[in-house]
Amino acid sequence: MRIFSGAGVSPGRITGVVRRMPRPVREPAPGERRAVSVSAGQAAADLRAASHSVQTELQSRAEQATGDAKAILAATAMMAADPMLMRSALDLIDGGSSAEGALWDAAASVAGMLRGLGGHMAERAADVLDIRARIIAILRGVPAPGVPSSATPYILVAEDLAPADAATLDPAMVLALVTSGGGPASHTAILARALGLPAVVAAAGADELTDGVEICVDGVTGTVVVDPDNAARAGLQVSPRATTTVGGQTTTAAAAGFDGDGRLADGYVLPLLANVGSARDAATAAAAGAQGIGLLRTELYFLDHTSEPSIQQQRKAYRAVLDAFPGKKVVLRTLDAGADKPLPFLAIANAAAEPNPALGIRGYRTERVRPGVLERQLEAIASAAAGAEAEVWVMAPMISTAEEAGKFAGRCAAAGLKTCGVMVEVPSAALTAEPILSRVDFVSIGTNDLTQYVMAADRQLGALAALNSPWQPAVLQLISHTVAGAAAEGGHKPVGVCGEAAADPALAVVLAGLGVSTLSMTPRSLAGVGAVLGSVSLELAQELAGVALDSSSATGARARVRARLPMLERLGL
Amino acid sequence: MSERRATIASRVGLHLRPAALFAEAAARLPVEVTIARDGAPVQDALNAASVLAVLSLGAECGDVVVLRAEGADADVALASLAAFLERDLDAE
């Protein structure tokens, strides 16, 4: 038995067998030449065999699939042995390239051609690159890239997961996630919370885990036990959430559900809202009892568009979300593109032009280089709002100054939108909350970015996970300062939190104590957060907020607050 | 060299599914067929049996393409492929 730990980012405890996510296929050296011992004929034969084997595998997957997936897999199988792709790769082999180098370059040029056509062809370019990775994996004798396919449930272990991996991850087969990289706000952590999977990130020991090893994962403490003995299993199974039977975990909190009425034990009202990216998410959120939408990430509609969606298209997409919450509040955030969320049609800058994209042109700042996109989006929102029963609020991301907030408010007013606010993600916005709130109707604190900016720690860097915690007293100070700014402004304007921090039930208590007026989170977390908030009085929440603010570290703040909340242990959170 | 023009009938253009069906049909023929946009130089014509080549034309509904082939069976082959393009493959 061996124990290591990382950051627990999504609650739950479970035992299961490891399957490793293969490392991404690495690029061959540019213009890689064939070894002298390998003839062109041999390299060509190797390439053909590998391409044939990928084609066969995809064909058999197509046979098992149905509907659209079947047609797409069948077409992708054809691409694996495509005569044009093979011809240009074989020509490169004749010119002296290695099989891998030839295929790499040939596929890159085809993908570039398809990408240049725009629209859905960009997805086809991704298909070509996927095929390339699969063929090269065979040439190198390494496992195919992507989430492993398995007939039995397993714990997925990886360096880190990309947003694209989420699409191929089957929540019925994956029991938990353990990564060596990533931080509490990494894509892996966000994905795990959305799927309700226990997860531990930034666990250096994860790189040593091999397929088939049994581990116990505790998504709260961040502990991973390798080859657990019976005592360790028993210790990990005291919680009602834990289970020995893989695949069947339930939580008492989730089983009880959220009743759609966020309150503390003494009746103090604290509405719990949901973060969503689509109408489908909104339906899930409504079913989970969300009292509204605290964050609609509108950029998710735009991700696969290579040209700007029309006002009509946007209106339809927004309206579908509004219709899921009649009579309730829905907060739409305007496009948050840039840094980790590049949008093809904005094509603002490449990495070379922006060496530090998190500090670059993103969010509201894109208006400087792509004027008009925001205005059209606000027009689309106003048109979706007309006749909708939901209460429509709009906010801008990445606001740094009261002047920017004022300009945004002016644009909203011009579009006929009544309730206009801004995100507090940049520390300067937290520090100037009072003048900002004198210009807008509300603010919503995005703790993920606020944390990375105030701690100067990249949220995707596993090595900095400890700094990158919303429990950091400095982050809590900024939240407290924002609430104080709202009080000083005097208009009783709402201060919400829509970052991942709101999904942590213990931190939710602290946020309530700091005076935050609403919490918005992934729908999965509503039940747990609701249950824990319902177990504390406002007085206790305020006391615990003081305890957290006075701590000297994030881990200290978290431990001291958690020790005072017995409900967490009871719910296995 | 036989030549045949065809107008793309598929409402979504030669996107993935129609392109795959077309390339599959071209690959089954006994002759090698090329495809190009109308007006493009002959040397730029692409292998019609390659789904990637067909996709890379980016042909939309209503666009005209030129099919070419050599040999005795060329005319029959081109006629069958042209008929293929002139149906709305996506609706079927």
Q: Judge whether residue A339 has pLDDT over 80.
A: no
Q: Answer whether A540's CB lies under 8 Å from A532's CB.
A: no
Q: Judge whether residue B89 has pLDDT over 80.
A: no
When comparing pLDDT for A197 and A234, which is higher?
A197
Alpha carbons A133 and A110: distance in angstroms, whole number: 14
Choose among A71, A84, A124: nearest Cβ to B53: A84
Asked if B17's CB is within 8 angstroms of A113's CB, the reply is no
- Looking at every residue in chain A, the average pLDDT score rounds to 88
Choose among B16, B50, B53: nearest Cβ to A72: B16
Question: B2-87, what's its fold?
Answer: Histidine-containing Protein; Chain: A; (3.30.1340)
A313 Cα to chain B: minimum distance (Å):
18
Confidence band, pLDDT 50/70/90 cuts, at residue A459 = confident
The distance from CA A266 to its chain's CA centroid, rounded to whole angstroms, is 34
What pLDDT does A244 receive?
28
Alpha carbons A498 and A442: distance in angstroms, whole number: 13
Phi, psi of A263, deg, nearest 5: -145, 155
Q: Tell whether domain A40-140 is in CATH 1.20.1530.20.
A: no
Let me know the angle formed at the C-alpha of A136 by A130 and A140, rounded to the nearest 5 degrees: 145
A476, A404, A475, A477: which is closest to A435 by C-alpha? A404
Taking CB atoms and an 8 Å cutoff, what residues of chain A touch B53? 82-84
What pLDDT does A9 receive?
87
Could you tell me whether strands A442-445 and A495-497 are parallel, antiparallel, or unpaired per DSSP bridges? parallel
Closest residue on chain B to A67 (Cα):
B17
Closest residue on chain B to A81 (Cα):
B50
Q: Does A69 touch chain B (CB under 8 A)?
A: no
Taking CB atoms and an 8 Å cutoff, what residues of chain A touch B17? 71, 75
Q: What is the pLDDT of residues A363-384, one digit of tens each?
A: 999 888 888 999 999 999 999 9
State mean pLDDT over A140-165: 84
User: Strand ranges (DSSP E) for B1-92?
Assistant: 2-7, 33-37, 46-47, 64-69
Q: Does A113 touch chain B (CB under 8 A)?
A: yes
What pLDDT does B90 receive?
60
Q: Judge whether residue A123 has pLDDT over 80.
A: no
What pLDDT does A145 receive?
83
Q: What is the DSSP string of A255-274?
A: HH---S--B-TT--B--EEE
| Torsion sign over Cα A313, A318, A324, A326 | negative
Asked if A87's CB is within 8 angstroms of B16's CB, the reply is no
Q: What is the pLDDT of residues B16-72, one digit of tens each?
A: 888 999 999 999 998 999 999 999 998 889 999 999 999 999 898 999 999 999 988
Closest residue on chain A to B55 (Cα):
A114
Q: Does A84 touch chain B (CB under 8 A)?
A: yes
Task: Write out the residues of chain B at the interface with chain A, using a CB-CB cutoff of 8 A.
Answer: 15-17, 19-20, 23-24, 27, 46-47, 49-53, 55-56, 58
Alpha carbons A71 and A278: distance in angstroms, whole number: 25
Asked if A83's CB is within 8 angstroms of B56's CB, the reply is no
When comparing pLDDT for A151 and A136, which is higher?
A136
Q: Answer whether A340's CB lies under 8 Å from A397's CB.
A: no
Dihedral through CA A110, CA A114, CA A120, CA A125, nearest 10? Answer: 30
* Cβ contacts from A onto B, under 8 A: 49
Alpha carbons A417 and A415: distance in angstroms, whole number: 6
State mean pLDDT over A204-233: 88
Q: Tell whether domain A2-21+147-250 is in CATH 3.40.50.720.
A: no
Confidence band, pLDDT 50/70/90 cuts, at residue A12 = confident
User: Which among B2, B10, B14, B15 is annotated as catalytic?
Assistant: B15
Taking CB atoms and an 8 Å cutoff, what residues of chain A touch B19? 75
- Active-site annotation of A, residues: 187, 498
Confidence band, pLDDT 50/70/90 cuts, at residue A322 = very high
ipTM over 0.90? The verdict is yes
Sheet holding A2-5, edge to edge: A2-5, A223-226, A214-218, A13-20, A154-158, A174-179, A199-201, A7-10
Taking CB atoms and an 8 Å cutoff, what residues of chain A touch B49? 83
What pLDDT does A256 receive?
60
Judged on CB neighbours under 10 Å (0-12, 13-18, 19+), A7 is: buried
% of chain B exceeding 90 in pLDDT: 61
Asked if B53's CB is within 8 angstroms of A124's CB, the reply is no
Asked if B52's CB is within 8 angstroms of A121's CB, the reply is no
Probe site for chain B from A59, A72, A82 (most B CB atoms < 10 A): A82
State mean pLDDT over A2-31: 88
Q: What is the DSSP string of A137-189?
A: HHHHT-PPSSSPP-SS-EEEEES---HHHHHH--TTTEEEEEESS--TTSHHH
Closest residue on chain A to B45 (Cα):
A84
For residue A166, give both structure tokens.
């989420």
Q: Does A128 touch chain B (CB under 8 A)?
A: yes
* Domain boundaries defined on chain A: 2-21+147-250, 40-140, 255-571
A322 Cα to chain B: minimum distance (Å):
30
A570, A548, A542: which is closest to A560 by C-alpha? A548
Q: Judge whether residue A92 has pLDDT over 80.
A: yes
Helices and strands, counts by H and E, chain B: 3, 4
Taking CB atoms and an 8 Å cutoff, what residues of chain B touch A79? 51-52
Taking CB atoms and an 8 Å cutoff, what residues of chain A touch B50? 82-85
The distance from CA A208 to its chain's CA centroid, rounded to whole angstroms, is 25
What pLDDT does A152 receive?
87
Judged on CB neighbours under 10 Å (0-12, 13-18, 19+), A26 is: exposed
Asked if A113's CB is within 8 angstroms of B46's CB, the reply is no
Alpha carbons A339 and A333: distance in angstroms, whole number: 17
What pLDDT does A341 receive?
66
Alpha carbons A430 and A479: distance in angstroms, whole number: 7
A86 Cα to chain B: minimum distance (Å):
10
**Start-to-end C-alpha separation, chain A:** 25
What pLDDT does A471 receive?
95
State mean pLDDT over A226-230: 86
Alpha carbons A365 and A71: distance in angstroms, whole number: 41
Q: What DSSP character marks residue A201?
A: E
Asked if B50's CB is within 8 angstroms of A71's CB, the reply is no
A112 Cα to chain B: minimum distance (Å):
10
Taking CB atoms and an 8 Å cutoff, what residues of chain B touch A89? none
Alpha carbons A234 and A238: distance in angstroms, whole number: 7
% of chain A exceeding 70 in pLDDT: 92
Q: Does A74 touch chain B (CB under 8 A)?
A: yes
Judged on CB neighbours under 10 Å (0-12, 13-18, 19+), B89 is: buried
Q: Judge whether residue A85 has pLDDT over 90.
A: yes
B21 Cα to chain A: minimum distance (Å):
8
Asked if B50's CB is within 8 angstroms of A114's CB, the reply is no
State mean pLDDT over A400-408: 97
Q: What is the DSSP string of A368-385?
A: HHSTTHHHHHHHHHHHHH
Dihedral through CA A187, CA A193, CA A198, CA A202, nearest 10? Answer: 30
Q: Does A132 touch chain B (CB under 8 A)?
A: no
A52, A78, A48: which is closest to B24 by C-alpha? A78
Per the CATH hierarchy, to which homologous superfamily does domain A255-571 belong?
A: Phosphoenolpyruvate-binding domains (3.20.20.60)
Taking CB atoms and an 8 Å cutoff, what residues of chain A touch B52? 79, 82, 84-85, 110, 114, 128
Q: Judge whether residue A179 has pLDDT over 90.
A: yes
% of chain A exceeding 90 in pLDDT: 60
Q: Judge whether residue A348 has pLDDT over 70.
A: no
A426, A419, A420: which is closest to A401 by C-alpha? A426
Asked if B23's CB is within 8 angstroms of A120's CB, the reply is no
Asked if A113's CB is within 8 angstroms of B19's CB, the reply is no
Asked if B51's CB is within 8 angstroms of A82's CB, the reply is yes
A417, A423, A335: which is closest to A371 by C-alpha? A335
